[in-house]
Structure 1
Amino acid sequence: MATTATPQPGAPVDPYRAYNFKLLINGITNGHFTEVSGLEVNIAPLAYREAGNDRVRSVPGQVEYAPVTLHFGLTSSRELWDWVNAAARGTVSRRNVSVVLLDPAGTSEVLRWNMINAWPTRWRGAHLNTLAQEIAIEALTLAYEGLDLEAGGATAPTPA
């Protein structure tokens, strides 16, 4: 009978690489993103004093999800611009957005963060400079209502 090896305490485990990821919007790979920043969950602690006791305990309060900023190369695609522009005109289209971390070879999914009901709150155009020789990068900031983490091979949540 074969047994699977389990990591031993103190045994080195290589961390995942930050450069192998893709972004899915409503389950579809969308664009070439160079950076994703701001994935964050904050749970505010609330002070609670028990009756007949001088001890103050902390209990979990409201959960807040920090905005996420996506950086991507400027292309002729209007899909993300149209999403932002619709929100600016009062028609907010909430979408499920997944950040998918890939293995070092870039072939298999190892982790997935699902941002539930995301919508654009900010767009920043590319910095243009005639003396530079770099890629034009735009930025899109998203607000979202929930964040789930799934391990390898997961599927995207169904669109809202």
Structure 2
Amino acid sequence: MGDPAVSIAYRVTIDGFIPLGIWTKIEGLGFEYQVTEYREGGVNGYTHKILGPCKYTNIRLSRPVDSTSQLLMLWLQSNLIAVLPQTMAITAMTAGGEDITTWNLAGVVPVKWSGPSLDVMSNNVATETLEVMYQEIIGLGSLGGMLAGALSVSASVDVSF
């Protein structure tokens, strides 16, 4: 069993080459299947459940404002000109900067950005928050690689009775 993934920061890139910097908090990564139930006539002990489409929740990324905030603003401005769904990779990293795992999202479009409260009398860290919608999670990061390897090994084993 692997060590628990205690991550310190999250590196975010768009389309594999546009760096959006390091983020300290990611919320909302998840999905849920819509389930439809129907009753069969004369069957009172249970209902049939059919899985419907998968619905993904929006993701909120937060961090202190830093020098990469300018790259984020350029990316947001490019989406004002032409909204093109892109891919986003969110990589959880250790304190030493080693990758733990990566979540790859397809069909990413920014839906909201909020900047820091600009108050010189405040002692709070200036933070920014980005919210994006996405169509699906693609791949499973390091877990996907392990599963793919296990499946290819088990698929090549000849089992006879």
Question: With structure 2 as the length reference, what TM-score do the two structures score?
Answer: 0.73
Structure 1 contact 16–104 (Cα < 8 Å) conserved: no
Q: How many aligned positions are there? A: 141
Q: Which has the higher helix share?
A: 2
Cα 1:153–1:106 change in 2 (3 A) is farther
Question: What are the Cα deviations for residues 48-92 of structure 1, in whole angstroms up to 9, with x where unaligned?
Answer: 223442221222122111000111332465332233334445x20
Shift of 1:119: 0.8
Between the aligned partners of 2:79 and 2:96, the Cα distance in structure 1 is 37
Cα 1:152–1:41 change in 2 (3 A) is closer
Aligned residue in 1 for 2:6: 17
Structure 2 contact 11–91 (Cα < 8 Å) conserved: yes
Aligned residue in 2 for 1:42: 32
Aligned residue in 2 for 1:158: none
Between the aligned partners of 2:112 and 2:83, the Cα distance in structure 1 is 13
Consecutive unaligned residues of structure 2, counting only runs of 5 or more, are: 146-161
Shift of 1:132: 2.4
Report matched runs for 1:5-154 at 5 Å: 7=1, 14-28=3-17, 29-54=19-44, 55-75=46-66, 77-88=69-80, 91-103=82-94, 105-107=96-98, 109-148=99-138, 149-151=140-142
Shift of 1:152: 6.7
Structure 1 contact 83–120 (Cα < 8 Å) conserved: no
Question: With structure 1 as the length reference, what TM-score do the two structures score?
Answer: 0.74
Between the aligned partners of 1:106 and 1:74, the Cα distance in structure 2 is 20
- Between 16-25 and 77-86, the greater mean CA deviation after superposition: 77-86
Matched residue SS, 1:140: strand
Matched residue SS, 2:77: helix
C-alpha RMSD of matched pairs (Å): 2.5
Identity between Structure 1 and Structure 2 (%): 23
